[in-house]
Structure 1
Amino acid sequence: MSTVLDHATGVPTGTPPQDSARATPARARRSSAISRHTHPMWFLVPAFAILFVFFFLPTVFNFVYAFTDWSGFKSQINPVGWDNFTDLAGSGTLYASLRITIGYAVLVAVFQNLFGFALAVLLERDTRLNHLVRVLFLIPVLMSALAVGYIFQALLKPEGALNGLLSALTGADVHTAWLGSTSWTIVVVAAIHAWKWMGLSMLIYLAGFKTIPVDLVEAAHIDGASPWRAFWCIRFPLLAPAVTFNVATALLGSMNGFDIVQATTAGGPARTTEILNIFIYRTFGQGLFAQATTMSLMLFLLVALLAFPVIRFLRKREEIL
């Protein structure tokens, strides 16, 4: 007697319900086995190969070449031990670049989070106008950093559009060199960097606002709290994870900055905006490859040394709040 199978389930049509129930786990196991065979892990090999060639291998060579005399003036590469590090330790220019880099990173983190948080508060309501404005502020995030730097460099030069606009509004001839001050240029460049990325911070803060339970705010209003007090005492502390992400990414990302500074000031005036990556770029261009590699290694260590305490501090703040 032949058995007729149900094409939908693969179970014989005459099988009792108990047998059908026992057949279900077997079908699940077969389906899982098929899934494992059709999606093997070796599909990840190309991605890991690209990551190894373009990230891990250069990182290893970065550590190796920092202990050599590699340069554009000789064909042989010889090990020199810690000589590159001792030479840089006695360089006042390196310490100046490190100080400028840290100051630049702190300014960017402050400006970017202030701008992003203010935009998130102003554009929190889901209206069509707010949706449109959010998209407009996200456009700079998608733009090339070099393009943003060159646009602002053209706007802020003495004969640029900003001075032309101020001259038209005030009736006076304005020729301010916005990028020519040895005291304030670093602040202007940091504000430009923050302007480019404030849309991303705005998006993270908006997502943080959406995760706050409405019941908590309504309970605060019922208890007599004003909207201002409810915001700062309830809603703002619950934004701690968003603050952690935005501060960490802005601070550590700006320490690796290069494009905007290079396009606007190229490290000037008088090297007051020469962050470490600009210094590394100039050193490498002079043919001092080993010294530039050593500087990049020191930048890597500096970012790592700052990353862990900052993230740990912000995580502790989340637990307290």
Structure 2
Amino acid sequence: MVYPLVETPKQLRLGGLKGSKKRRSTAHPGWFLLPAFAVLGVFFFLPTLFNFIYAFTDWSAFKNDINFIGFDNFSSLLSDGSLLAALRVTLIYAALVGIMQNLFGLGLAVLFERDTRVNRFARVIFFIPVLMSALAVGYIFQALLKPTGAINGILSFFSGQHVAIPWLGDTTWTLVVVAFVNSWKWMGLAMIIYLAGLKTIPEDVLEAAKMDGAGPWKTFFRVKFPLLAPAVTFNFATALLGSLNGFDTVQATTGGGPAQTTEVLNIHIFQIFGYGLYAQATTMSLVLFFLVLVLAFPIVGYLRKRENVL
């Protein structure tokens, strides 16, 4: 009699392990990243590559052909003066947002540092603008800051006189007002980061400062603030780089006016692209790309070095 071959439990176990290893090797986790990389490549890397290419052409809505023209777009933009004016406005706007957003966020974090029920509720209230659309925030403030808006109405009520301040129509202070609006929208995020930094400060360090006779102000500036260096780095870098690419808040409030005093570079690019001058707009976006790179690395490097020193 011939008996059929029967695998032992050990052989079955080894075969199962080999099969599971084979299945595990074919289903590598890296394959799940392919859809994300495909979307990133189509909607980010490919447009960035074409951005470098079209900046050296005469691409526009008034021509059927696209020809290579070298650095003519860069020279014409520099000689025109509008690009330099937009760059100046962008840098001032970014500096104002970086300073105000961090001051507001740090002030709120210190104010609501204690874990009470009222403070937790206040944190949620001040974080709500972060979740709102920047365009919606801009349009709300545009309505509030009109000469006949609610802000002037409140001032008229308390002063007993008719107040009609053109908050968004002054060529001197409108950029500061728009920077305040953008800082108001994002100060909740800065507040959360600073709160996280404050919570990581060891209690024994604060107790030692108190025993040495340091008051609240001295404790904050000599102990707490130096230990918040990583939070300052993150908040200031994100505020500065985000405002360099600012568009939506400025577009909703002023549209670049009055007299182009709030025309940041992205709004200028948007307008030039709307005129059909696609190559010039692409060149400006390339200039903005290099501007962000030139500013990002030194500023972040300086702040990181400051962390190590402190």
Q: Tell me the TM-score normalised to structure 2 length.
A: 0.92
Structure 2 residue corresponding to 1:312, chosen from 287, 301, 306: 301
The structural deviation recorded for 1:109 is 0.3
Structure 2 residue aligned with 1:212: 201
Structure 1 residue aligned with 2:292: 303
1:149-298 mapped onto 2 (5 Å cutoff): 149-298=138-287
User: What is the identity, as a one-letter code, of the residue corresponding to 2:206?
Assistant: V
The answer for unaligned runs of 5 or more in structure 2 is 1-6
Q: Encode CA deviations 1:104-145: one digit per residue, 9 max, x unaligned.
A: 000000000000000000001111111111111111101111
Q: Encode CA deviations 1:269-296: one digit per residue, 9 max, x unaligned.
A: 1111111111101100000000000000
Structure 1 residue aligned with 2:98: 109
Structure 1 residue aligned with 2:85: 96
Q: Is 1:142 matched with 2:134? A: no
User: What is the identity, as a one-letter code, of the residue corresponding to 1:144?
Assistant: S
The structural deviation recorded for 1:92 is 1.2
Structure 2 residue aligned with 1:78: 67
User: What is the identity, as a one-letter code, of the residue corresponding to 2:96?
Assistant: L
CA distance in 1, matches of 2:121, 2:21: 45
Alpha carbons of structure 1 residues 79 and 239: separation in structure 2 relative to 1, 3 Å: same
The structural deviation recorded for 1:32 is 8.1
Q: Is 1:53 matched with 2:39? A: no
The structural deviation recorded for 1:316 is 1.0
Q: Encode CA deviations 1:25-66: one digit per residue, 9 max, x unaligned.
A: xx9999888765555311111010000000000000000000
Structure 2 residue aligned with 1:22: none
User: What is the identity, as a one-letter code, of the residue corresponding to 1:166?
Assistant: L
CA distance in 2, matches of 1:273, 1:91: 18
Alpha carbons of structure 1 residues 261 and 43: separation in structure 2 relative to 1, 3 Å: same
Structure 1 residue aligned with 2:4: none
Instruction: Indicate the SS of the match to 1:126.
Output: coil
CA distance in 2, matches of 1:246, 1:156: 28
CA distance in 1, matches of 2:91, 2:31: 42
CA distance in 1, matches of 2:156, 2:55: 52
Q: Encode CA deviations 1:238-269: one digit per residue, 9 max, x unaligned.
A: 00000000000001110000001111111111
The structural deviation recorded for 1:223 is 2.5
CA distance in 1, matches of 2:161, 2:223: 49
CA distance in 1, matches of 2:19, 2:179: 58
Structure 2 residue aligned with 1:21: none
Alpha carbons of structure 1 residues 84 and 216: separation in structure 2 relative to 1, 3 Å: same
Alpha carbons of structure 1 residues 228 and 62: separation in structure 2 relative to 1, 3 Å: same
Structure 1 residue aligned with 2:109: 120
User: What is the identity, as a one-letter code, of the residue corresponding to 2:304?
Assistant: R
Say how many residue pairs are matched: 302
Alpha carbons of structure 1 residues 3 and 222: separation in structure 2 relative to 1, 3 Å: farther
CA distance in 2, matches of 1:120, 1:28: 54
The structural deviation recorded for 1:211 is 1.1
Alpha carbons of structure 1 residues 208 and 70: separation in structure 2 relative to 1, 3 Å: same
The structural deviation recorded for 1:227 is 2.8
Instruction: Indicate the SS of the match to 1:236.
Output: helix
Q: Tell me the TM-score normalised to structure 1 length.
A: 0.89
Alpha carbons of structure 1 residues 3 and 71: separation in structure 2 relative to 1, 3 Å: closer
Alpha carbons of structure 1 residues 3 and 314: separation in structure 2 relative to 1, 3 Å: same
Structure 1 residue aligned with 2:122: 133
RMSD: 2.2
User: What is the identity, as a one-letter code, of the residue corresponding to 1:60?
Assistant: L
CA distance in 2, matches of 1:37, 1:275: 50
Larger displacement relative to structure 2 (186-195 or 215-224)? 215-224
User: What is the identity, as a one-letter code, of the residue corresponding to 1:103?
Assistant: I
